[in-house]
Amino acid sequence: MRRINIIILCLTATISTFGQVKTLTKEQYDTVVTTSRDQVDKLLRRVVSETTKYKGGVIETTETLTKESLPSGDNRWSLITKKEGVTLNKLQLVYLGKYEYRKEGESDWKKRCVKDCSSSESEGSYGILGSAELPKVQEFLVSDSTAAGQSATVYVSYRVYQIGSILNFFESKIWIGSNGLILKEESIDSDVFPTNRKSFETISYAYNPKDVALIEAPIK
């Protein structure tokens, strides 16, 4: 109970930084965000995610993920991981039709089916560590704001989830413009004290950029 009280106090301090804050239900929040993402998916776009990961309160690595997406659903991804300015890993992904093309570092490209696969093409799925969200420790808020020099509405969600015996705190902010498109996002993942960050992510959106090259299969 003491941990939950600490979380609530931290939420209150964070919420007070916004003006004219209104609460939302989970259903209201999900409807707005899902509608905006559906609208975004119809556009040519470049989305850049910058993720800083921490260990013991010190920056451990930074990751830059650039995703170029077509309305058809085809995507090109580039992920670069650095530590103290030195590149540790590079990963390139191309999603074209039913196939994923993967290139790690300087290795050769690999191809696998990821959608509507025949039994011979299926290779199973990747396992994801499960977590349990605590339904009573969550809050959804909305407030007027600005982003990228535009008037926007920021939608904020706070959640506490549990992995094993450890409580974790997740805060997400999504700025949506008057046209219904997402302008930017931020998220913080931390332990039970929100100031003890595990990671901080910022996501920026560019719509209909002129320099997105045609997405083609790198191998047959």
Distance CA 202, CA 193 (A): 20
What is the residue-wise DSSP string for 19-40? Answer: SS-EEE-HHHHHHHHHHHHHHH
Percent of the chain with pLDDT over 70: 82
148 vs 126, more confident = 148
129-163 pLDDT tens trace: 455 555 567 899 999 999 989 999 999 999 888 77
Query: Given this model, what pLDDT does residue 124 score?
Result: 47
Percent of the chain with pLDDT over 90: 68
Query: Given this model, what pLDDT does residue 127 score?
Result: 37
| DSSP 3-state of 173 | strand
Distance CA 134, CA 168 (A): 10
Whether the per-residue pLDDT at 1 is higher than 60: the answer is no
172-218 pLDDT tens trace: 999 999 999 999 999 999 986 767 899 999 999 999 999 999 999 99
Q: What burial letters (b/e) apply to 84-100, b meaning 16+ CB within 10 Å?
A: eeeeeeeebbbbbeebb
| Average pLDDT for the chain | 86
Q: Please give the average per-residue pLDDT across 119-129, as a whole number.
A: 52
